[in-house]
Copies of this chain bind each other. A is one copy, B any other.
Amino acid sequence: MNDTRSEIIRLGSELIRSIGYNSFSYADISKALNIKNAAIHYYFPSKADLGVEIIRENLNAFNELTKAWESLDYKSQFSNYIHMHDSFINNYWVCIVGSLSPSYDTLPENMQKELQGLVNTILKWLTALLDNGLKNNTFSFAETPRTKAFMVHSALLSSLQMNKVLKNDVYKSIQEGLLNI
């Protein structure tokens, strides 16, 4: 994979996090990388192709991270997950799922499928972790692991969105609240 291609993905990823998929254009990328709009079409014929690739890269990154955490105890894995997006708050970025979900109905079909895959992967991993941690008393909560996974994921995702609007301590507050299980 060459430089230009990976730079396009990197920038596209940032733009999705900061302003959303429908709000960025190939012109935003071409200006920033000092190339022409047609050069982006060379690597990603349609914007949907770029969108799909960006989601895939996020899925790969998630899978690699969680694999690297495998040997850690459940509490550490959970804490790592909760702190996964810490670097986003100063830029007021949201995670890719939080960015794409509200505009889900406007996304091309292949992006919708890819997004579903990403969300399912995250929730499956988190549910298993909570289930294991509940069984060996690392965690304690009343809900089913699946419901708890929904709640944790949702709270975290949305705290990044609220951080964009309120620019206050909402992200840190929710993190602390979540870690206390």
Binding site for B on A (CB under 8 A): 18-20, 22-23, 92, 94, 97-99, 101-106, 112, 115-116, 119-120, 142-144, 146-148, 150-151, 153-159, 161-162, 164-166, 170, 173-174, 176-178, 180
Do B155 and A116 touch across chains, with their CB atoms under 8 A apart?
no
The reply to whether A176 and B154 form a contact with Cβ atoms under 8 Å apart is: no
Known contacts A23-B106, A101-B164, A154-B162; 8 further A-B pairs (Cβ under 8 A): A20-B103, A101-B161, A103-B103, A104-B161, A142-B180, A147-B173, A148-B177, A150-B174
Q: Is the CB of B103 within 8 A of A23?
A: yes
Contacts of A155 in B (CB 8 A): 151, 154-155, 158
Identify which of B22, B142, B162 contacts A119 (C-beta below 8 A). B162
B22 touches A164 (CB 8 A): no
A-B contact pairs, 26 of them (CB 8 A): A18-B105, A19-B105, A20-B20, A20-B22, A20-B102, A20-B103, A22-B22, A22-B23, A92-B105, A98-B161, A101-B162, A102-B102, A104-B161, A104-B165, A115-B165, A116-B166, A120-B166, A143-B177, A147-B174, A147-B177, A150-B159, A150-B177, A151-B155, A154-B157, A154-B159, A157-B161
Q: Which residues of B contact A119 (CB under 8 A)?
A: 162, 165-166
Chain B's closest residue to A180 (CB) is B142
* Residue pair A102, B105 in contact (C-beta under 8 Å): no
